[in-house]
Structure formats: C-alpha cells, structure tokens
Amino acid sequence: MIESLANIFKVPELKRRLAFTAALLIVYRIGAYIPTPGIDAHALASFFAHVSGTLLGFFDLFSGGALRRLSVFALGIMPYISASIILQLLAVVVPYLERLSKEGEQGRKKITQYTRYGTVLLSAIQGLGIAFGLESMRSPAGELVVPSPGWSFRLMTTITLTAGTIFLMWLGEQISERGIGNGISLLIFAGIVVRLPEAIVSSWKLLSTGELRPYIFLSILVLMVVVVALVIVMTLGQRRISVQYAKRVVGRRVYGGASTHIPLRVNTAGVIPVIFASSIIVFPATIAQFIKHPWMQFMAQMLSPTTIVYNALYGTFIIFFTYFYTAIIFNPVDVADNMRKYGGFIPGIRPGAKTAEFIDKVLTRITLVGAIYLALISILPEFLIVSMNVPFYFGGTSLLIVVGVALDTVQQVEAHLLMRHYEGFLKKGKVRGRIG
C-alpha cells in the first residue's frame, strides 16, 4: 500500500490533479465558515441543536455544518442535486428532454445547461424561504435569530446563498474537469467526513469518563468494519446477464460473434431513494417546529427517529423509492431493442419482448435485495444511537455516499496509474468499475 501511494507522486499529471482537488476542497471548507450578514450566530446554533432530527438537520448533514452556521455555502450543493433529479424525472414524461438525453454529447450539454438554470432558480427560492423562516426563528432561550428583519435582510440572504451555491457548482465542475473524481460528489463527501474528528473526540471523552465501556466500544468498531465491508460489496455487486452477438459479413469483413454481458447492479438506484425517503419522513417534524398545534405536535412525536412507526415508514419509503427510481433510470425495453438492433441476444431467450421480460424479471429480483439492504443501512444509525449509545452518527445516507465516492475516486486513481504502467492499490487487478 505504501508503495502504491508513492506511485501516485511519480505521475506528474495525477499529482497535479490531486493537488488541484485538495486546494478546491480547502476553499470549500473555508467558505463554510464565512457567515451570512445579519445573523445572531449564538441563537442560530442553539436553534439547530434543538431541531437536529428534522429536515433542517438533514440538509445540514449535506452542507457539512454550513447551514447551522448559515455561511455563504449554507444551501450546499443540494439545489444542484435536486435540479438534476427533477430533470431526470421530467425526461421520462417530456418528449423533448427524452430526445435530448439520447442525442449524445450535445444533448448532455443542453441538459447540463438546463440543470444550471434550475439550480439558480431553486437556490433563489430556497434562499428567500430560509430568509423568511429565519426571521420567525427563536432560540430555546427566546433570542431572535435575526435581530433586524426586513427586506434588506431577505434580499441580502437570498443573493448571498444563491451566489454561494453557484460558486459550489462551479467548484464541482472544475474538480470533475481538472481534478480527480466527481466534483459534486466530492463536495458532499468533504462535508460529511469533516465531522469525523468531532466523533473521535466525543468517543474518547466518553471512554475517559467511563460512560462508554471499552468492550462496547470494541463491539462498535467491529460492527462498523463489517457494515462498511457490506456496503462495499453491495455497491460493487452486479448480476451479469450473458449476451451473444451474431456474426455479420459486411463486404470482406466479419463483425460480431463476440460474447459479452449486461451488468445489472444490485443497487441500481444508488443513494437517491434514501434521500427521497428522508426528506418525506422528516417533513412533518419540520412543519411542527413552526405550527404549534396539538395534532401537529402528536404527529411530530410519532415520527421521531426513536419510534417504531418512524423506522417502519422509513424502511417502506426506501423500498418503494428504490423500485420507483430504478424503473425511471433503467428501461429493459430500450435495452432489448438496442440488443436486437445490433444482432445481440441472450442465450435461450427470444429477442424482443421476451428479452425485455427476462431482464425486467431479473432486475426486479435483485432490486428487492438492494432495497432491503438500503433500508437496513438507513435504519442502522437509530439502532446504534438508541440501543448501544453510540456518540456519533454512523450509517444511513452519509455512509452510502462516503463509500460510493471513495470507491469512484480510487478507481479513477487506479486508471491513471495503470495507464502509465504503475501498480495500483490492488496487487491482482483493479477495483471493478461501477456501472451507472
């Protein structure tokens, strides 16, 4: 491993890309501490400590703590992700967007342009909504979060937060183009892992005071290793369907006759179902913070993370959205049509409708495994915190994102090393690439 890490610095281009990526991530973390004008920081921190289990706490996870400080990067990169998901969903029902998605590089550029416009629009709407919400917020002690409310504060906050998100979008695109890894994913990754030192310090304090017993702490560490290994296996897991291409004679040349496979991922939907489910399940608790009605308070109490109702609904939503999002991004009929167009067939299955039915049947079965896996990983943090008194958040969306982004980045580093005949991180071949 040490030799493999040393090989990275023997490739000038890779070294430059890593340095560039690290520099932009540092800029991102510095910006997360630049506050938006007109905020009482102490009152805001007290308020967020009180609403850690709501939608605001969920978005604060993706912003790397920038939302609880209301920095210029408080919205994070979530508006860009939301705009991307909305366009993916619209591409299924809007013929124009569907045509663009099939037009190759030019179509992707146009969709990227629409995504940027959508990001600006969503950022402005969310920024204005946050400004209005902040004016009505008070800390548990009754302190006003915004000492001087009004339209000057609302416009300043909207412009500042929108500009911060646009800058983050630009940072992500620069990392993808001139750095290493997926820039947008790395920004989310950096916002999550930055909390690791705080978790280590809090665990050490509990060990020192005797509140956390050593054997429980060791059990937690073993469980963490097992869970991370499971996430890696499920992230890379594929069901390969064999495909045979018939030989075609064009002039004096023979084409086809090769054997290949269709790699169906066990977790085709990725982390998107967890994000959808989390946003929906914590919405009532968020609304209850602003509507002081007995019925709303009862709903918020029933849907708190420690209840059986919350975990049952959370798992059900994740399974539903896993199937829903998989159906949107993977169309067996299109795959079967493309195979038939180029003379491909699955051995023992007739081309056309039968092939589409077979692929759909296989995908449905493996998606059930992926959906149950996502549900269990997402419910894991509540089990650890409630049952084992773990002093930090482990599992759920953050773990899925961290492992997925780490694997993608390692694969890109591996590719650069192997291109220049350097040995990668694995002695007997590189990590299998993720599809999708």
Could you give the C-alpha distances from 47 to 112, 177, 236, 297, 415, in angstroms and in order?
A: 36, 39, 40, 17, 46
C-beta separation of 20 from 178 below 8 A: yes
Q: How far apart are CA 194 and CA 191, in angstroms?
A: 6
Q: Is the model more confident about 216 or about 402?
A: 402
Provide mean pLDDT across the span 135-156: 80
High-pLDDT (> 90) share of the chain, %: 12
* pLDDT at residue 185, rounded to an integer: 84
Provide mean pLDDT across the span 275-297: 70
Q: Is the model more confident about 277 or about 250?
A: 277
Structure tokens belonging to residue 300: 């918020």
Q: What rounded mean pLDDT belongs to the chain?
A: 79
Which DSSP letter does residue 63 get? T
* pLDDT at residue 57, rounded to an integer: 58
H or E stretch including 262? strand 259-265
* pLDDT at residue 436, rounded to an integer: 39
CATH superfamily ID and name for 1-194: SecY subunit domain (1.10.3370.10)
Q: Is the pLDDT of residue 137 over 80?
A: no
* pLDDT at residue 55, rounded to an integer: 52
High-pLDDT (> 70) share of the chain, %: 79
Provide mean pLDDT across the span 194-212: 77
Structure tokens belonging to residue 11: 């490739």
- With tokens 């146009």, the residue in question is 110
* pLDDT at residue 62, rounded to an integer: 58
Beta-bridge mates of residue 239: 264
* pLDDT at residue 363, rounded to an integer: 92
C-beta separation of 269 from 329 below 8 A: yes
Closest CA to 75 of 147, 155, 157: 157
* Least confident segment among 11-25, 303-317, 343-357: 303-317
pLDDT in tens, 171-197: 999 998 888 888 888 888 888 888 777
Closest CA to 87 of 79, 288, 190: 79
Q: Is the pLDDT of residue 264 over 70?
A: yes
CATH topology of domain 198-394: Preprotein translocase SecY subunit (1.10.3370)
Q: How many other CB atoms sit within 10 Å of the CB of residue 118?
A: 19
Q: Is the pLDDT of residue 390 over 80?
A: no
Provide mean pLDDT across the span 44-50: 70
Closest CA to 126 of 164, 171, 183, 172: 164
* pLDDT at residue 183, rounded to an integer: 85
Question: Letter for the amino acid at 156?
Answer: M
Q: Is the pLDDT of residue 435 over 50?
A: no
H or E stretch including 342? none
The pTM of the full predicted model, rounded to 2 decimals, is 0.75
Could you give the C-alpha distances from 227 to 4, 87, 224, 317, in angstroms and in order?
A: 26, 33, 5, 22
Given pLDDT bands bounded at 50, 70 and 90, which one contains residue 61?
low
Provide mean pLDDT across the span 385-407: 71
Provide mean pLDDT across the span 19-30: 91
Beta-bridge mates of residue 345: 244
Most confident of 130-139, 181-190, 250-259, 390-399: 181-190
Q: Is the pLDDT of residue 19 over 50?
A: yes
Q: Is the model more confident about 298 or about 158?
A: 158
Provide mean pLDDT across the span 52-71: 62
pLDDT in tens, 224-247: 888 888 888 888 888 888 888 777
* Least confident segment among 108-117, 161-170, 353-362, 378-387: 378-387
* β-strands 238-245, 344-345 pairing: antiparallel
CATH 1.10.3370.10 residue spans of the chain: 1-194, 198-394
Could you give the C-alpha distances from 128 to 66, 90, 144, 177, 367, in angstroms and in order?
A: 17, 25, 18, 32, 39
Q: How far apart are CA 78 and CA 161, in angstroms?
A: 12
Q: How many other CB atoms sit within 10 Å of the CB of residue 269?
A: 25
* pLDDT at residue 368, rounded to an integer: 92
* pLDDT at residue 138, rounded to an integer: 72
Q: What angle do CA 46, 50, 53 make, to 5 degrees?
A: 135
